[in-house]
Structure 1
């Protein structure tokens, strides 16, 4: 297809999709772009605001013949529209020579005093707890949600790429975004219909999913989980709105006047209600802010309509644009309830205007509100099953009756398009490649088995040298009620084979009663965490890092067998009991000793630990959201706290166990969203061991001799540098998300992010344990940070090239210890928004 024909078809799509479309740039008399200028179709309340570069795009289903451009400090500009589609306009504003008498107006940054928009904003704050669903004791409503993903910025060059050879038919359904004016190709659609119930007195809410439908990817929990995490619910009246793990200051926030400029632009009747129109835009660049406008009622001060667009300068990765619209309807003449919520995100590797990407669009429609119908508290404890076959296989009659907003032509075509694509071998190959990169496993459908993880194939440590590992697991589907898993490994230096096997069975879906067990024989770096709950196949990165710091030779040969039972009697409360039997011995006896005094041995010294332990575990994760009902579920959020209580009882003589002891451990992890100042993550850990045990059973303060930043460890400590039987540890890490760097002109455009960390630990080691482990002190000095709290602090620079974070770690004390490392540099890779 040549460029002329392509342009013709694109133009035809533009004209067919809407009645009025305009785009262009607004500049001042010196030709400089005017950011945040107001663009509206005259005699309407349909409009937009120019971006940081003065660019704009606006469309409407209604035909308009006049465009109006306004900005504080400039004269209004009236532009006749001679056709339905007018692109690449260059509109010049002139400085205003007159000043309004009614209102004192300032160009650029707006005053916080004597500003009518700010006075209206204060009344919104005062009334926000009296608006919406908060006015009622109980509520219920229907909720229909559709999420769509589209490949955008389609042009002839893209169509001719080899990757699409044999897939040209997909370009028959191009359309144009009403927000950006770019062409796009729909590639995925998910629909959900549910009934939501809530009780403001009890503080409870539940959502019964009655229907769910995907285009082409039936029951794909990875996609559904990604969507659920990506598009979490929000309330525009909150001070901060969370998107993509970032907190954006709401324009309705009480701190908004320090973040935004506000201006009263217009007033008009909307649905027989007199409303004010207020425009807002950020005071500073590079902060997590929006630009846009809202209409607010003059008596209830409830929002009637609002749109929010994230500024291009905002410090967020992989997202070029975020656009939100919310419409509210009037109930009982005074109550404004959310009617429609639309959110569009433009995901792209670059924020350049012509860069290609993927649109993610969510539309949520609310209807059939019912109030003050009380239901018992147990009603809110029952959960609906999103993956119930009845829910997943609703017929066309159900969707016709329950879609609160009809599908448009393009959305209807997605189902047919994906059904066709699934039959194309080339598309299957692309889909399988993405699946492997995402899950780490290669699917063998005919065997109902996965091979992997591909990320664990190669490794290295000083005991094994180069190492290879190949694993597999059963996989009939994402909601398997049982799963078998195993691996084989081989070290080329010690010339020994290792293995691990595991089995899990979900016996009762209601209480999530799970029985699991397995056995592992391998080389492991113990002591890399204090209160870890890894399963029998768990393995630390310290055991297979290709490059390490110093002598990373304190490795252990472990033979671990485990049997456990776990259940979830209450949502997010897991209770488990079980037993483990371990045999531990040094993997490098010439460098690292696990020896302890044993009078029963001919030499008086034993080198192998045989131990059976009974374990009781309690984990509480309030706010955690999961998806699926199988033996392994997927977590779809990370903003929940975790409380862990673990009790271990060792029994001498059981299966020839060597020691009797008790160990009690507690940990509490909590993420804290500190408004616009970023995110703090904190972890408190404490524990005590009662009785005398050898080094292999003591609590090692987790060091880190790798070059990877690993939260929960001390990067300037070597493995086994501190050993305790009583400990208290605290880890604090705060990511400012660029809040500070955005105020430094030379750094602003780099979108770097500041990360600071502080961690400390205090511990003791009894004289009895020191005496028992005397033989091990030849290679491992047994010491605990009992004289004073050991601490470290770090400064990190994140978002380097959008994928890299480098941490500079400093040791605070105990600098006189042999081979103490006062400073280290660690890093981590990640694709973070």
Structure 2
């Protein structure tokens, strides 16, 4: 009965959603698959090419009686289609006469005297003259539709316990025109934009006027993931970037050295005579595509292109990527992008039968207008990101602005999700996903969340085993205010710790926020050169159960902060505030914070009380965020961060001990280096004016854990170097498998090579050495020469593990100096 039910659903999807569907495999007379063969409906431009295994799937909303299959060197086959739906065809191509109008190439193609590459070079010469770049100004409408689908639906899944009570959702099943697999739509998001650009000013502005999705409008995690996943791309650029990777574009000069190109056909496409070029990669395991494109014979503009991820590409959790772009003729010399389609098949395994999730994006461009000049102020004016009406548009708005109508299944997602949200079992599954994604357990009736659950257990030498529980107010993702807190208990020191923080967004336009908090805890200070007064961050002291050597340099800290910040310009933030902290050693016998104090009866003090006033500027150009409440989420991670902080220590007030000034600078930037991966850079510099105790000095961040932590020195112990003046640089480059892909014995493991180098120079004044003379810590700064380390790492081991081999470059003669260490980390990366 279950199989019959599945068959009925599949038959219903077939009948209602497409007129002609075909799938199968193309082989030669010996039975070997024929990759990259052309598969088209006769007398149309609707077609595809076979994949590496010779398989294909093709569908159309029109009725076609004949299928045409061809490949250079073989006789063309025309196959009559007796039914609207024909699956699992086996087509045998016989060797025959070669096409007269093209030159035939096989295997690796020469770049000399290749007509396909000659055409490509003409395309590249004209690329800036085609599209919107050929005008001074432009504007157009942009409609974007993003959909997620559960794929590889079969009777066993339909009848599984997971979907018991939710069987009605399978009424929405359909079949992919790319892969031929059944799928179930589970999410859809629609957006409509007005886009303006000025090529003389090099400015572009996108104005979102409408946004709608199927029941997850408050899920900021999902929305930010969607926006980051499907960013716009340009086929004419050397690299197409998505999934945090840079794929070589076949329409680029870099592509000439990366792909084989074959001129295979010529025909009229929408009344324009065009040439068809097939491309495929020269080497395996690189971030490349395969597919074909049509080029106009007069403008040398791309009329149509499809790009499909090669199976050997070094990318995780993605089984398929397929993209299409279509261009329309404005006049004899201008082609404009009209439709962009992208589909990804996410799966834990790359086996054909494994289930996964389709992520699909369709973008339609229309209503182009050119040479309407607008003043520079128009482009500098900030788009109102806080208009809630944008997310509440009615059906009339979407009927007028939806540039491509929803099909039956897409329209049904809205109704299906509304019904599904009333099913208790779905609510439980959705809540579980939310917990794993955010780390918080939502408690609706109290408008609060419990968590983060990942900080529940810890261990350190002072507290022993430590447990922690906490929570936050949560009325929605765009709350104007939020209160958070935690409580913790150490079973060795038998002490209770806590933290509480509150923040309030007073003005959304300039993001005026006031915040305050207090924390009483055990902490490992000196793990970062750049200051951090976060009263609720997870204690570094308890974040690792296993450490190298003794982890006893811990501080008992009581920190109170208050701040005011604002963002008058996008991504430019100003902050003023103050903090008062009390510092003392958590393990005085092993780690001393003693300093000379003439006012103390013994001449020595062990506790620091300090009031500090701070002013900071932070600039993050290119940063994209989602949400408009007191807390926002980043959409991207490739932006730069520049941070400048000035601190003034005040003496006397509230028994504050020291008078000093401190200035610190921080710069971080990830750089995409085309096909050679990504380079991460960090530069820090700072100086403290005046004498201060050890607890207020700048400690070079060591790392005694077994985890790879960027911006620390894994071969340094905590407090091995202490400075009042410092300059530090960290460089780490991930080649994303570029080098390993050249090695035959390991290329199929899809490993990724990482290299790093880091160094720091610093000084410690005689005045500070004299003040801190009573401490039992060796006060030493890397002033004679720059301290440096280097590392070699192997990433993507079993797709989740990275191991780094770290080497100490100098200062090898210091007591207990660690010359070598091995660290590692886990993570899910594409």
TM-score range relative to shorter protein = over 0.9
Select between 381-390 and 554-563 the one with higher mean Cα deviation: 381-390
- Cα separation, 2, equivalents of 1:78 and 1:12: 29
Tell me by how many angstroms 1:278 deviates. 1.2
Tell me by how many angstroms 1:385 deviates. 4.3
The 1:380–1:533 alpha-carbon spacing in structure 2 relative to 1, beyond 3 Å, is: farther
Tell me by how many angstroms 1:198 deviates. 1.7
Tell me by how many angstroms 1:155 deviates. 0.4
1:183 corresponds to which residue? 182
- Cα separation, 2, equivalents of 1:422 and 1:4: 27
Residue 18 (structure 1) aligned with residue 15 (structure 2)? no
The residue correspondences of 1:109-508 to structure 2 (distance < 5 A) are: 109-386=108-385, 388-508=387-507
The residue correspondences of 1:749-764 to structure 2 (distance < 5 A) are: 749-764=748-763
TM-score, normalization: structure 1? Answer: 0.97
1:668 corresponds to which residue? 667
Tell me by how many angstroms 1:241 deviates. 0.4
Contact 1:219 1:387 in 2 (8 A): no
The 1:296–1:409 alpha-carbon spacing in structure 2 relative to 1, beyond 3 Å, is: same
Aligned positions, number:
830
Contact 1:733 1:757 in 2 (8 A): yes
1:743 corresponds to which residue? 742
Contact 2:638 2:670 in 1 (8 A): yes
Select between 762-771 and 2-11 the one with higher mean Cα deviation: 2-11
Tell me by how many angstroms 1:66 deviates. 3.6
Contact 1:23 1:56 in 2 (8 A): yes
1:177-198 CA-to-partner distances (Å, cap 9, x unmatched) read 1111111111111111121122
- Cα separation, 2, equivalents of 1:832 and 1:510: 35
Query: Aligned to 1:374, what secondary structure does the other structure show?
Result: coil
1:608 corresponds to which residue? 607
Structure 2: gaps of 5 or more residues: none
Contact 1:542 1:705 in 2 (8 A): no
Select between 215-224 and 28-37 the one with higher mean Cα deviation: 28-37
2:36 corresponds to which residue? 36
- Cα separation, 2, equivalents of 1:9 and 1:535: 54
User: Cα RMSD between the aligned structures?
Assistant: 1.7
2:792 to 778, 791, 795: 795
The 1:534–1:184 alpha-carbon spacing in structure 2 relative to 1, beyond 3 Å, is: farther
TM-score, normalization: structure 2? Answer: 0.97
- Cα separation, 1, equivalents of 2:583 and 2:533: 17
Tell me by how many angstroms 1:73 deviates. 4.6
Tell me by how many angstroms 1:773 deviates. 0.9
Select between 260-269 and 490-499 the one with higher mean Cα deviation: 260-269
- Cα separation, 2, equivalents of 1:11 and 1:397: 33
Contact 2:2 2:159 in 1 (8 A): no
Residue 814 (structure 1) aligned with residue 811 (structure 2)? yes
- Cα separation, 2, equivalents of 1:280 and 1:713: 44
1:783 corresponds to which residue? 780
1:544-581 CA-to-partner distances (Å, cap 9, x unmatched) read 31111111110001111111111111111111111111
Select between 667-676 and 41-50 the one with higher mean Cα deviation: 41-50
Query: Aligned to 1:415, what secondary structure does the other structure show?
Result: helix
Contact 1:464 1:494 in 2 (8 A): yes
Contact 1:760 1:790 in 2 (8 A): yes
Contact 1:331 1:337 in 2 (8 A): yes
Tell me by how many angstroms 1:75 deviates. 4.5
Tell me by how many angstroms 1:322 deviates. 0.9
1:757-781 CA-to-partner distances (Å, cap 9, x unmatched) read 11111111111111111111x2x21
- Cα separation, 1, equivalents of 2:40 and 2:110: 24
1:636-694 CA-to-partner distances (Å, cap 9, x unmatched) read 00111111111111122232211111111111111111111111111111111111111
Tell me by how many angstroms 1:4 deviates. 4.7
1:589 corresponds to which residue? 588
The residue correspondences of 1:546-625 to structure 2 (distance < 5 A) are: 546-625=545-624
2:49 corresponds to which residue? 49
Query: Aligned to 1:355, what secondary structure does the other structure show?
Result: coil
Contact 2:702 2:715 in 1 (8 A): yes
Contact 1:468 1:490 in 2 (8 A): yes
Tell me by how many angstroms 1:64 deviates. 3.1
- Cα separation, 1, equivalents of 2:793 and 2:75: 47
Residue 63 (structure 1) aligned with residue 63 (structure 2)? yes
- Cα separation, 1, equivalents of 2:360 and 2:283: 28
Query: Aligned to 1:705, what secondary structure does the other structure show?
Result: coil
The 1:628–1:512 alpha-carbon spacing in structure 2 relative to 1, beyond 3 Å, is: same
Contact 1:49 1:291 in 2 (8 A): no
Select between 382-391 and 272-281 the one with higher mean Cα deviation: 382-391
Tell me by how many angstroms 1:743 deviates. 1.9
The 1:402–1:101 alpha-carbon spacing in structure 2 relative to 1, beyond 3 Å, is: closer
- Cα separation, 1, equivalents of 2:588 and 2:733: 41
1:91 corresponds to which residue? 91
1:260-306 CA-to-partner distances (Å, cap 9, x unmatched) read 11111222222322222111111122111111111122222111111
Tell me by how many angstroms 1:82 deviates. 3.6
Contact 1:240 1:676 in 2 (8 A): yes
2:657 corresponds to which residue? 658
Contact 2:299 2:332 in 1 (8 A): no
1:459-478 CA-to-partner distances (Å, cap 9, x unmatched) read 11111111111111111111
The 1:670–1:463 alpha-carbon spacing in structure 2 relative to 1, beyond 3 Å, is: same
Contact 2:45 2:269 in 1 (8 A): no
2:705 corresponds to which residue? 706
Select between 305-314 and 50-59 the one with higher mean Cα deviation: 50-59
The 1:717–1:101 alpha-carbon spacing in structure 2 relative to 1, beyond 3 Å, is: same
Structure 1: gaps of 5 or more residues: none
1:590-609 CA-to-partner distances (Å, cap 9, x unmatched) read 10011111111111111011
- Cα separation, 2, equivalents of 1:581 and 1:694: 15
Contact 1:195 1:210 in 2 (8 A): yes
- Cα separation, 2, equivalents of 1:744 and 1:90: 36
- Cα separation, 2, equivalents of 1:544 and 1:2: 49
- Cα separation, 2, equivalents of 1:41 and 1:830: 45
Tell me by how many angstroms 1:15 deviates. 4.4
Tell me by how many angstroms 1:115 deviates. 1.0
Tell me by how many angstroms 1:541 deviates. 3.3
Query: Aligned to 1:412, what secondary structure does the other structure show?
Result: helix
Tell me by how many angstroms 1:26 deviates. 2.8
Contact 1:52 1:313 in 2 (8 A): no
Contact 2:27 2:93 in 1 (8 A): yes
Contact 2:130 2:334 in 1 (8 A): yes
The 1:745–1:25 alpha-carbon spacing in structure 2 relative to 1, beyond 3 Å, is: farther
The 1:103–1:419 alpha-carbon spacing in structure 2 relative to 1, beyond 3 Å, is: closer
1:514 corresponds to which residue? 513
Tell me by how many angstroms 1:22 deviates. 2.2
Tell me by how many angstroms 1:730 deviates. 0.9
Select between 672-681 and 98-107 the one with higher mean Cα deviation: 98-107
- Cα separation, 1, equivalents of 2:280 and 2:132: 28
Tell me by how many angstroms 1:614 deviates. 1.1
1:741-800 CA-to-partner distances (Å, cap 9, x unmatched) read 222222122211111111111111111111111111x2x211111122111111111111
- Cα separation, 1, equivalents of 2:621 and 2:70: 49
Query: Aligned to 1:529, what secondary structure does the other structure show?
Result: coil
Contact 1:112 1:118 in 2 (8 A): yes
Tell me by how many angstroms 1:42 deviates. 3.6
Contact 2:459 2:543 in 1 (8 A): yes
- Cα separation, 2, equivalents of 1:78 and 1:787: 80
Tell me by how many angstroms 1:105 deviates. 3.1
